[in-house]
Structure 1
Amino acid sequence: MIVSASIVSCCVWALLASVTALLPLRVQYAPAIMLAIVVPFLLIFVGFEHGLGAVALGLAAFVSLFRVPLLYVARQMIGEPVRS
């Protein structure tokens, strides 16, 4: 089995995202924003090394871990009232 730098980076990102989810809510914002900013670059890196199938899996992992913030942003973008 070949281990690539992009897959190791994705694993580290997933571990960091899981640890961030365990933090108290008031402390989660800064690390979560940094992790969300890194995702497009990480997925491009994975895409160059492994193709679109791996990018789809990485995108699914991102959406799974960040589903609540992504729904919040989507609702704000389309103008729906956001439940608090």
Structure 2
Amino acid sequence: MDGERPRRDRRVKALLTVEGLTKAYPGVVANDRVDFDIVEGEIHALLGENGAGKSTLVKMIYGLAQPDAGRMTLRGQPYA
């Protein structure tokens, strides 16, 4: 991957869009500009080593942790 976000058919609306989500703790960046869309019918998985930021990302999506930067939309509406 070259860092470019994959293109998808714009007629398909994302249920959840995550753009530039970033979370840092003292001495470590847990998530750095995370981007993805979840579209109805798709299956996603989070894979990574211990300490890669998987739990932090899920906590931000569930509203249990506040991102330092970025935005999320749920069905096109701001979501935090």
TM over 0.5: no
State the structure with more CA Rg. Answer: 1
Of Structure 1 and Structure 2, which has the larger fraction of its residues in strand? 2
Structure 2 length-normalised TM: 0.27
Which one has more relative contact order, counting CA pairs under 8 Å at least 6 apart?
2
Identify, as 1 or 2, the structure richer in helix. Answer: 1
